[in-house]
Structure 1
Amino acid sequence: MLQKTNTATLADFDHHDHPPSQSVFGFWVYLMTDCILFAALFATFGVLGHQFAGGPTGKDLFNISDVAVETAVLLISSITYGFAMLGAHQRKTGAVLGWLSVTFILGALFLVLELREFSHLIAEGAGPQRSAFLSSFFVLVSTHGVHVFFGLVWMAVLMMQVIRRPQLDDREVRRLTCLSLFWHFLDVVWICVFTFVYLGSVI
């Protein structure tokens, strides 16, 4: 009887000493604030998207086939990250690192394509200072690009942490889960950008 009591007390102590992590819930809260940020940027583009100041329009500037390639690259990176999470839940370190590496390369390729698009627009005299339309476009798309860049930095840090630990534990899986939420969120935002900004400006 005394042994059972001691065991129960020890279990209670361990429960209070190590409460369940709220990191995933907290990250959902952060994503909600990011939703507000992007909603404000989309609303700004909606208001200024037809203020061309006599300059080029989206139909004159945007190459939908190139943007479609960017979109495909980012969506495929979301799939490869999903495979990384499957490996994480199965505690397969090699699979996690392999799929994260593929995801990182695809994310970096997306940024290269986006920067190439920006440089092409600026070379044609269609920089952010040309019109309200282009100002709102550059702010919205570059804000998404900055998020992708920090996502890649975060991914590289997590890959280093996985390499240093011989066995994945719950803490690493939670960290990978938070980045997974972030990465998929960026995919959803980009689909909105592709539909609302690019297609909406061309059609």
Structure 2
Amino acid sequence: MSEITANYPGALSADAGADPSARYYVDEHHPESSTLLGFWLYLMSDCLIFACLFATYAVLGRNYAGGPTGADLFDLPLVAMNTAFLLLSSITYGFAMLESQKKNLRATMIWLGITGLLGAAFLALELYEFSHLIHQGAGPHRSGFLTAFFALVATHGLHVTFGIVWLVTLMFQLKRHGLIPENGRRLMCLSMFWHFLDVIWIGVFTFVYLMGVLP
């Protein structure tokens, strides 16, 4: 019995000396590398989804069906402001990661809160853009171009929404448990997800909006 206990320092037992069949509870270690590897695999699968959406837009992006074009619809100053919100949120998340490495919980929470507000501002402007387009009669049913546009941009917006929900949940976890190793892994995974969304949006801004206003 002592040999088993020596081999498993985290083991606990009840009446181990009296009951040979006593159960042992061993502290399990969750390897950080496997978590990050699994999340990288998820991001690669998400890359395939966006690759398909970009490819669809490349095929349908000039199919206007006699309707409005990107040059007629896109408000570049508004989209540039929206892009600035998302890129700034990536910077503020980086500050949160730096503070978490310093074990400064309060500063980490503040930067995460700012990140969430910038993400919410991004979504608010995107929803305003969608409602404005639909009000103009340029909904996703109007042409192949608009169908592909709404599919790509809305899918990215849905990812940002999930990211904000994840961020708020993580803030509750941090407030309750602090900067424990498990929350550190969650912060790292959300960091990869958030920066991934920034990279995708840069592609959307360039390929859809900037190229869309060209004649």
Higher relative contact order (CA 8 A, sep 6+): 1
Query: How do residues 125-164 of structure 1 correspond to structure 2 at under 5 angstroms?
Result: 125-164=137-176
2 CA distance for matches of 1:17 and 1:120?
Answer: 53
1 CA distance for matches of 2:64 and 2:31?
Answer: 53
Matched, 1:199 2:210: yes
Give the number of the structure whose residues are more often helix, by fraction: 1
Query: How do residues 3-22 of structure 1 correspond to structure 2 at under 5 angstroms?
Result: 9-10=7-8, 17-21=28-32, 22=34
Which one-letter code corresponds to 2:155 in the other structure?
T
Higher-Rg structure is 2
2:101 corresponds to: 89
2:121 corresponds to: 109
| Residues matched between the structures, number | 199
2 CA distance for matches of 1:34 and 1:92?
Answer: 32
1:46 corresponds to: 58
Query: How do residues 61-100 of structure 1 correspond to structure 2 at under 5 angstroms?
Result: 61-100=73-112
Which one-letter code corresponds to 1:190 in the other structure?
W
Q: Identify unmatched segments of 5+ residues in structure 1.
A: none
1:59 corresponds to: 71
Which TM-score applies when normalising by structure 1?
Answer: 0.92
1:149-196 residue CA offsets vs partner (Å, 9 max, x unmatched): 00000000000111112x311110100100000000000000000000
**Structural RMSD (CA):** 2.1
Task: Quote how far apart the aligned CAs of 1:7 are.
Answer: 10
1 CA distance for matches of 2:140 and 2:195?
Answer: 28
2:22 corresponds to: none
Matched, 1:27 2:50: no
Matched, 1:169 2:180: yes
2 CA distance for matches of 1:118 and 1:20?
Answer: 43
1 CA distance for matches of 2:35 and 2:180?
Answer: 15
1:51-96 residue CA offsets vs partner (Å, 9 max, x unmatched): 0000000001001111000000000000000001111111111011
Task: Quote how far apart the aligned CAs of 1:24 are.
Answer: 1.1
Q: Identify unmatched segments of 5+ residues in structure 2.
A: 12-25
Which TM-score applies when normalising by structure 2?
Answer: 0.87
2 CA distance for matches of 1:17 and 1:129?
Answer: 53
Q: What is the percent sequence identity of the aligned residues? A: 58
